[in-house]
Amino acid sequence: MRKLASYVADAWVEGEGPTTTLFNPATEEPVAETSTTGLDFAGAVGHARKVGGPALRELGFRGRGELLRQMAKAIHGGREELIALAIENGGNTRSDAKFDIDGASATLAAYADWAEGLPEGNLLLDGDGVQVGRTARLHGQHVMTPRRGVAVHVNAFNFPAWGLAEKAAVAILAGMPVISKPATATALVAHGLVQLFVDQKILPAGALSLVCGGAGDLLSHLDGQDVLAFTGSSATAQKLRAGEGVIARSVRINVEADSLNAAVLGPDVSPGSDSERLFVRDVVRDMTQKAGQKCTAIRRVFVPADRLDEIGEALAAELEPIVVGNPGSDGVRVGPLATAAQLRDVTAGIARLAEETDALFGGTGSVQPKDVPEGNGYFVGPVLRLSRDPAAARALHDHEVFGPVSTVAPYGGSAEEAGALVRRGGGSLVCSLYSDDRDFLASMVGELAAASGRLYLGSAKVADQSPGPGTVLPMLMHGGPGRAGGGEELGGLPGLRLYLQRTALQGDKSFIKFITE
């Protein structure tokens, strides 16, 4: 069996003692094992700070951008091998694996392109200068420079390639070395990415480390120059926020957590229209892509009350032909959930929803997957539930079922009522709105902007080119308020702010101009 080593202090190091086993979620066969017991995390953090940080800062923004371009090319060159790993360890179909891996290379390439417009050095102006004295001689200017620490990235199990690359792209361009800690259960793909970067000698010493397994005491070595970025459950996020480093040493932290994302169909959308087809397509794709294991997936679907049954039937009809099974088999669109724990959680979540909703499609998710022996694998089929009284519902608005599960519910037709129902979710990464009525969309933006990290405005005018609400684009902010974690990632160059220190310069204008130009 493969043993996954961690890459720390520029060396592949295997842990000692008990190991954690990684499985193929379609067959439940073990595929690898890993351990971090005995790893010197203090040394890893120190090496990243003392070696990786200076090496990255020496390159300047444009030089670091070229690193990202080489990383993107490496992923593209190893694409087929990475897809195979994603099918084997993540339970991804080929299409789902490409979504993850191509998203990783595309994000790196995007930040490489943006780097071309940045200074050669390490200082960014932040806004215009201002007069702060009696005359223009006394001047003030905000600038941003790389923090002198390490960026620790704790990533979720569902996007081992994209999750690693999107965080690393921004941190490395900003000039901070990275220690990436993927979810252990699906670490095979992340390990494959870093293996490509190391073998091709793309990055300078200390710039990127990988922890395959438990984090041990890694976080206890962080201080006020470091950044911790986390994607995962809100329960884990609460523990990280309560950590000694965050509280006592002001470690900067960014969180992307749970999200009960919603889709709202406008009352103006007519049967058979392009906007309705876009709506149905997006909901079904988000339910089934990556077996519904996406932080941006649509969990709640709100439609005008007079069209509830009609839309429910349309969604069920689209779900009917979808094949669940072995992700390596032809025709399979939905593979297994990633882990046995995921299967337990999703099954329990469906049961919780069933207490207050009716079955519309898929029942409890029980399914006999294609080309899988009976009883094997962590499979749940697409499940569509129906809530006729969402105002009285609790689980619908309180509990995210992280699988191929969504619930359809009615609203009275007004933006105010739809907005109130969506806000019951407590804050989301993305809310998708479908309408050709500009007044309705404008009202919905007013209702939901403060509760959403991103608002996807679906209409007939964008139906033929929209990637859907579930696709995270590097030029748009990824994050959201409240339940979604309160964080902000990506968003183009403003995403660099997480890893840069903002400083106010105050003094003689000519001297400040000399420093900043």
What are the residue numbers of the active site?
Answer: 256, 295
CA 31/CA 89 separation, integer angstroms: 7
Is the CB of residue 411 less than 8 Å from the CB of residue 467? no
CA 132/CA 247 separation, integer angstroms: 34
- Please spell the DSSP secondary structure of 243-283, one letter per residue: SHHHHHS--EEEEE-----EEEE-TTPPTT-HHHHHHHHHH
Q: Which amino acid is at 414?
A: S
Name the strand (E) or helix (H) holding 237.
helix 234-241
Tell me whether strands 405-411 and 227-231 are parallel, antiparallel or unpaired.
Answer: unpaired
CA 362/CA 382 separation, integer angstroms: 6
Beta bridge partners of 487: 480
3-state class of 151 per DSSP?
A: strand
Beta bridge partners of 361: 384
Is the CB of residue 41 less than 8 Å from the CB of residue 216? yes
CA 216/CA 510 separation, integer angstroms: 50
Name the strand (E) or helix (H) holding 6.
strand 6-8
CA 64/CA 75 separation, integer angstroms: 17
Rounded to an integer, what is the distance from CA 6 to the centroid of its chain? 23
Q: Which residue has 């295997």 as its token pair?
A: 14
Is the CB of residue 334 less than 8 Å from the CB of residue 93? yes
DSSP-derived secondary structure letter, 473: P
Q: Which residue has 């710039």 as its token pair?
A: 207
Beta bridge partners of 30: 23
Name the strand (E) or helix (H) holding 441.
helix 438-448
Give 96-99 contacts, CB < 8 A, sequence gap 24+: 96/289, 96/290, 96/291, 96/327, 96/335, 99/289, 99/290
- Please spell the DSSP secondary structure of 53-106, one letter per residue: HHHHHHHHHHHHHHHHHHHHHHHHHTHHHHHHHHHHHH---HHHHHHHHHHHHH
CA 231/CA 182 separation, integer angstroms: 10
Q: What share of the chain is helix, strand, coil (3-state, %, to 5)?
A: 40, 20, 35
- Please spell the DSSP secondary structure of 321-375, one letter per residue: T--BB-TTSTT--B---SSHHHHHHHHHHHHHHHTTSEEEESTT-----BTS-TT
